[in-house]
Amino acid sequence: MSGERIRIGTRGSKLALWQANHVKGLLEAAHPGLEAELVTITTTGDRVQDRSLLEMGGKGAFVKEIEEGLLAGTIDIAVHSMKDVPVELPEGLHLPVVCKREDPRDAFLSLQYSHPSEMPAGARIGSSSLRRKCQLMARFPELEVAEIRGNVDTRLRKLEDGQYDAIVLAAAGLRRLGWADRITTLLDPADSLPAMGQGTIGIECREADDATLERLRAIEDGETAVRTRAEWALNRRMQGGCEVPMGGFAELDGERLRVRGLVGEPDGSRLIEDAVEGPAAEAERLGRDLADRLLGEGADAILERARGRA
């Protein structure tokens, strides 16, 4: 296989480049002689900094130009954080392979406190995620939950400057960027249910490109794939936009799959949580069943109101 090449499309952020390089390393190790080349692509989401995700058309703003590159044939695969990929892919593309999941939990970082439950009334905790903010407000109502902006380095500096008493970020991103030592504690999913796909790297390619799919098969992780199928089925059935706090988390115990889900009001006044369990072979059905349960328990009204506001 000497002289063979594969082109990997990626955004230019530090985290995206780390993930693309990780996939490059996995592919080259699995296929001696294969050379993987990174192609950095600037997306609408990267370019337009002054508008909300919603105004740009949602998560798709960060993948649009990369998917165009796949369809045009200027790249062979696209490496994504699964959490950031819209579930509906363009015609002709699929996302057949996920790599072994990194820690999916949210991380709590503080210079003074060991856990949100240890923080005094009025202490300020920063997050930019609706899902994290909603859960923190609902579970720790005495805290001041505040918006925080900027990349990971900026947020760590704001914590050190004392602008916040604590912040919450994905453990996976911190570990990948070399900040694992800044993590005070990992939050139990019962306190902060992770986002669907958090900690998972997914690889998208052209449906018709069998040769690439065959190469990707060598680096996929079976357990992560089962968990991702359940979380994506939940996500797809919920049809939630980025304006509704939502979490989804599947865990495998042998052949048993447990899927937890959550939908909340953005102000934390309401959390709807439920879980289902069943055979791993029925991952997608379990995800859909959980979505139907949550919708029946009031998530439908929350989603409808959010769509009305959008």
List contacts with ligand PBG (CB under 6 A). 81, 83-84, 169-170, 172-173, 198-199
Closer of 199 and 266 to ligand PBG (Cβ):
199
Q: Which residue is nearest to ligand PBG (CB)?
A: 173
Residue 158 corresponds to which amino acid? K
Residue 37 DSSP class: E
Residue 161 corresponds to which amino acid? D
Q: In the complex, what is the shortest distance from the CB of residue 197 to ligand PBG, in angstroms, rounded to a whole number?
A: 7
Give me the DSSP letters along 43-88.
-HHHH--SS-TTTTTGGGGGTHHHHHHHHHTS-SEEEEEGGGS-SS
Q: In the complex, what is the shortest distance from the CB of residue 83 to ligand PBG, in angstroms, rounded to a whole number?
A: 5
Closer of 19 and 212 to ligand PBG (Cβ):
19
Q: In the complex, what is the shortest distance from the CB of residue 170 to ligand PBG, in angstroms, rounded to a whole number?
A: 3
Give 210: exposed, middle or buried? Use CB within 10 Å, 0-12, 13-18, 19+.
Answer: exposed
Closer of 109 and 283 to ligand PBG (Cβ):
109
Closest CA to 196 of 161, 230, 172: 230
Closer of 16 and 272 to ligand PBG (Cβ):
16
Asked if residues 240 and 57 have their Cβ atoms less than 8 Å apart, the reply is no
Q: In the complex, what is the shortest distance from the CB of residue 3 to ligand PBG, in angstroms, rounded to a whole number?
A: 33
Is 84 tagged catalytic?
yes
Catalytic entry in 46, 50, 76, 84: 84
Q: In the complex, what is the shortest distance from the CB of residue 173 to ligand PBG, in angstroms, rounded to a whole number?
A: 3
Closer of 67 and 209 to ligand PBG (Cβ):
67
Strand 166-170 with 124-126, pairing:
parallel
Q: Which residues pair with 97 in a beta bridge?
A: 203
Tokens found for residue 261: 């889900």
Give me the DSSP letters along 196-230.
TTTT-EEEEEETT-HHHHHHHHTT--HHHHHHHHH
Task: Give the active site residues.
Answer: 84
